[in-house]
A and B are shown apart, each in its own frame.
Chain A
Amino acid sequence: MDSSKQQNILVELKNITKKFGALIANDKVNLSIEKGEIHALVGENGAGKTTLMNVFYGLYQPDFGKIYLNGTEIHMANPKTAISLGIGMVHQHFMLIPPLTVAENIVLGEEPGNFLTYNKSKAISEVQQISEKHGLNVDPAALVSTLSVGTEQRVEILKLLYRRASILIFDEPTAVLTPQETKDLFRIFNSLKKEGKTIVFISHKLKEVMEISDRITVMRQGKTVGVLVKEKTSEAEIARLMVGRDVLFIPDKEVFPKGDVVLEVQNLQAVNDRHLPALQGVSFTVKAGEILGVAGVAGNGQTELAEVLTGLRSVKNGKIFLKGQDVTQDSPGEKIKLGIAHILGIAHVPEDRHKRGLILDFPVAYNLILGSQNKLPFSKNLILDSQAIQNFAKEKIVEFDIRPGNENLPARYLSGGNQQKVVIAREFSRDPSFLVISQPTRGVDVGGIEFIHHQILSMKKKGKAILLISLELDEILNLSDRIAVLYNGKIMKILERAAATEEQLGLLMAGISEYSSTEKS
């Protein structure tokens, strides 16, 4: 293990090529990782980072290319091989089984005990031991379904430690964390590094990359475009490599005279799908020509807020006023009135375009009329007007630069960014007075992000009232006029953009209000 001839190189991926149908996710990618380093793998959404690591972990078979460990070629047949070689991976979407306990999740596949009995108490004590040793503070007997996102991540880390992994891969681990939780994670990284473990850290947040990594490999469009040493590079250089051009879009900070209050929400309460309180008394207003940003860590009521405002979820308590008119959907027990958002002129860009925003097997043209299919000009007397639908689609495809420009192609075959453009095109074309925009750029490439941000700002210029819900703090900071921080179903505080700092938002997102920053739950 210790004396590798090639100056400390532990892992080498050579010419890895992986195709999904016609799409080349990895195109002759090279990656070499030294023993004991923290190696950052950076690149935009869709650059191929996850694919590369899935190949390394044996989850995907490459079409081409070789994997070397300590100089010997390895055939990574499946994750079992990877695990046996001391490789562990924390996936972007956690790989946890909610109805099982923490201990069961961790020991799964290498259960203590024998063939006939799985030793539950031994599993719990072993997990407890490792957890304490690394200061991870996890209850092994708890059901995973009851854990917070941060704890889930620690369970994932424990999975690797239980298997004595020496190469640890983390796929965008900070995406779901508050800035403070990120600091905790980096503390764990450093202590793992001290134990001699090797870490691959995937991210597209350059600040974090510069903070924690030793070396950096940059990927762009499925290719390796650079290997950098932290000391000899800068955020700007990485960004340039990542994007392939110089400047990133900086939105104009024009402030427009704000208009009247368009939306007012008073003491809003609602429950989530599990019938637990999700919104616990939320109040705010949004004025015409204003963007109110809602910041927060995932799962603090964002989904429910958007759904309640658009009539997809019923209100338990509280009131919603649109231009002074009470539009609250609160009839308990009774089914909520569907499509109310569209009737009232509220546009809704849903947080998950695959779940709600698109019917992937419908052609683009059909997706562009979803919600208006029963209205003129798309249908008359309940008969669809194909010509009108096609014409409308052709128009929007040009206006929103949707590619490929084939209105009959099922939405499934569009890239994430273009799928999102279809949703945005549809919603922005309703001529709404109020827009609820959730996660507008999740999984969208940089070009697409730029375009979508421009569209949002142009809606603001047109005097629309906009509620922007995003997990990306940068997005909130770049676009909002005011920022509300949502924590545990409550609004911690609403700040003027100019007065908000990232540090302060981070604390608020963690549920710590600035006045009593020491002890508060």
Chain B
Amino acid sequence: MKKIAREILLPISSIFFAFLVGAVIIKASGRSPFLAYQSLLMGGFGSLGNLAQTCLFSIPLIFTGLSVALAYKCGLFNIGGEGQFLLGGLFSMAAGIYIHAPFIIHFPLCLLCGFAGGAVAGAIPGWLKARYGIHEVINTIMLNWICLNFVAYIVNGPMKSPSGLGTPEPLKTAIPPLIIPDSVIPGNQLNIGFIIAIVFVLLVGFYLSRTVQGYNLKAVGLNPMAAEYGGISISKNIFLAMCLAGGLSGLGGTFYYLGDLGRIPSTLSFTGYGFEGIAVALVGGLNPIGVFGASLLFGSLESGGIFMQLNANVPKDLVTIIQALVIIFVIVPGLVQSVFNWYRAKKEKEGFEYS
């Protein structure tokens, strides 16, 4: 229990400090921090509809957050979430438009294609790292841009719809169904992706902590030389981790484009979910349950941000600033920790627990 308390304390206080700095920024802009945060909160949680919106926004974040966390456990830094997200979206959209099958086959097939698309974008830097030892950071960044251009080309070329808005809409059998009927919460768009995301949170958690493969992956991440000595292949695990990470981000893209948007738009740009996935993973302490919590928080910021801009006249880009600040406070425990140092000192004596 105490361990959990300690693990939660850092993210919570980081979030607190980030909002504090955010308030200073709002004040300095001549706006009211109180009003801003109130509308942010209302926008995120104020009504069932807003809450549903928050959950909807958290779906892609859960997937990109899991993606970053899983790669990180293998010692890899996946900055390629944006590209994997797009490619996953493209693959699943293609499956959603061109394959005809009943829902029970079609929808899972779309998910599979989305996963595969992301996995391809993850596999390339994974292979380059495993085979040539080239740092994944640089290649995942490069692939973000390559994927962006590639998807933009396909969307505005071979897959262009007559309407000119981007791709055609996917078939009905490919669209993730809503969880809550429209009659209960009018206008809500929260789809089954949220439940599937929760399933993946549990799956990834189980994979990392209970399977031999998870053991191997973490061993490579923590000490590749020792892993090799223990008969664990470094390159195989690196490749696998990047494929899985890519696939997870790809699923994020799948739900975003099939569900939220209903098409891939012609004016394509990075969605930001890939980068936010980094923040989510860090705030979530790189563990799946934490990722889930952090995704809800960031999802609420997103749904609340628009509200804040309208109500308090504070640009919603403040949300990005706050997210960056949260990262900063999380990676610099020293900044936060001095506040509860006494607490830590006490902990140190009681030994450590490991999961």
* A and B directly contacting (CB within 8 A): yes
User: Which A residues contact B (CB, under 8 angstroms)?
Assistant: 21-22, 310, 312, 335, 338-343, 348, 350, 355-363, 366, 370-371, 373-374, 379, 382-384, 386, 404, 406, 408-410, 413
**B215/A356 in contact, CB under 8 A:** no
**B212/A312 in contact, CB under 8 A:** no
**A312/B354 in contact, CB under 8 A:** no
* Neighbouring B residues of A383 by C-beta, 8 Å: 210-212
* Neighbouring A residues of B231 by C-beta, 8 Å: 338-343, 371
* Neighbouring B residues of A373 by C-beta, 8 Å: 212, 215-216, 230
**A22/B353 in contact, CB under 8 A:** no
Minimum distance in angstroms from B213 CB to a CB of chain A: 6
**B226/A370 in contact, CB under 8 A:** yes
B207-226 Cβ-contact flags toward A at 8 Å (1 or 0):
00011111110110011011
Tell me whether B2 is interfacial, beta carbon within 8 Å: no
Binds A, one of B181-189, B260-268, B328-336, B344-352: B344-352
Tell me whether B228 is interfacial, beta carbon within 8 Å: yes
* Neighbouring B residues of A409 by C-beta, 8 Å: 351-352, 354
- Known pairs A342-B230, A356-B225, A361-B222. 16 more at Cβ < 8 A? A338-B232, A341-B231, A350-B229, A356-B228, A357-B226, A359-B222, A370-B219, A371-B229, A373-B212, A384-B210, A384-B214, A406-B352, A409-B351, A409-B354, A410-B352, A410-B354
Interface residues on B, range: 20 to 34
Minimum distance in angstroms from A314 CB to a CB of chain B: 13
Assembled-state Cα–Cα distance A386/B210 (Å): 8
Q: Across the interface, name the chain B residue whose C-beta is closest to A355.
A: B225
Minimum distance in angstroms from A227 CB to a CB of chain B: 35
Minimum distance in angstroms from A335 CB to a CB of chain B: 8
Indicate whether A357 sits within 8 Å of B222 (C-beta atoms), given known contacts A374-B212, A379-B212: no
**A348/B211 in contact, CB under 8 A:** no
**A356/B352 in contact, CB under 8 A:** no
* Neighbouring B residues of A363 by C-beta, 8 Å: 354
Between-chain CB contacts (< 8 Å), 21 pairs:
A22-B349, A312-B229, A339-B230, A341-B231, A342-B231, A355-B226, A356-B226, A358-B223, A359-B219, A359-B222, A359-B226, A361-B223, A362-B222, A363-B354, A370-B219, A373-B230, A379-B212, A384-B214, A404-B351, A408-B354, A413-B352
Tell me whether B161 is interfacial, beta carbon within 8 Å: no
* Neighbouring B residues of A335 by C-beta, 8 Å: 233, 235
**B352/A371 in contact, CB under 8 A:** no
**A360/B222 in contact, CB under 8 A:** yes
Assembled-state Cα–Cα distance A343/B352 (Å): 33
User: Which B residues contact A (CB, under 8 angstroms)?
Assistant: 210-216, 218-219, 222-223, 225-233, 235, 348-349, 351-354
Indicate whether A371 sits within 8 Å of B230 (C-beta atoms), given known contacts A22-B348, A359-B222: yes
**A406/B226 in contact, CB under 8 A:** no
Which of B213, B228, B352 is the one whose CB lies under 8 Å from A382? Answer: B213
Q: Across the interface, name the chain A residue whose C-beta is closest to B355.
A: A408
* Neighbouring B residues of A312 by C-beta, 8 Å: 228-229
Q: Across the interface, name the chain B residue whose C-beta is closest to A375.
A: B212
Assembled-state Cα–Cα distance A251/B225 (Å): 33
* Neighbouring A residues of B227 by C-beta, 8 Å: 359
Indicate whether A348 sits within 8 Å of B212 (C-beta atoms), given known contacts A359-B223, A360-B222, A413-B352: no
* Neighbouring B residues of A360 by C-beta, 8 Å: 222-223
**B229/A406 in contact, CB under 8 A:** no
* Neighbouring A residues of B216 by C-beta, 8 Å: 373
Minimum distance in angstroms from B228 CB to a CB of chain A: 6
Assembled-state Cα–Cα distance A340/B216 (Å): 16
Assembled-state Cα–Cα distance A22/B351 (Å): 12
* Neighbouring A residues of B214 by C-beta, 8 Å: 384
Minimum distance in angstroms from A432 CB to a CB of chain B: 14
Minimum distance in angstroms from A452 CB to a CB of chain B: 19
Assembled-state Cα–Cα distance A338/B232 (Å): 7
Assembled-state Cα–Cα distance A21/B216 (Å): 31
* Neighbouring B residues of A366 by C-beta, 8 Å: 215
**A338/B226 in contact, CB under 8 A:** no
Q: Across the interface, name the chain B residue whose C-beta is closest to A363.
A: B354
* Neighbouring A residues of B232 by C-beta, 8 Å: 338-339
Assembled-state Cα–Cα distance A22/B348 (Å): 8
Minimum distance in angstroms from B207 CB to a CB of chain A: 10
Minimum distance in angstroms from B30 CB to a CB of chain A: 46
* Neighbouring B residues of A339 by C-beta, 8 Å: 230-232
Assembled-state Cα–Cα distance A335/B214 (Å): 23
Assembled-state Cα–Cα distance A347/B135 (Å): 33
Assembled-state Cα–Cα distance A410/B218 (Å): 14
Q: Across the interface, name the chain B residue whose C-beta is closest to A348.
A: B229
Minimum distance in angstroms from A398 CB to a CB of chain B: 18
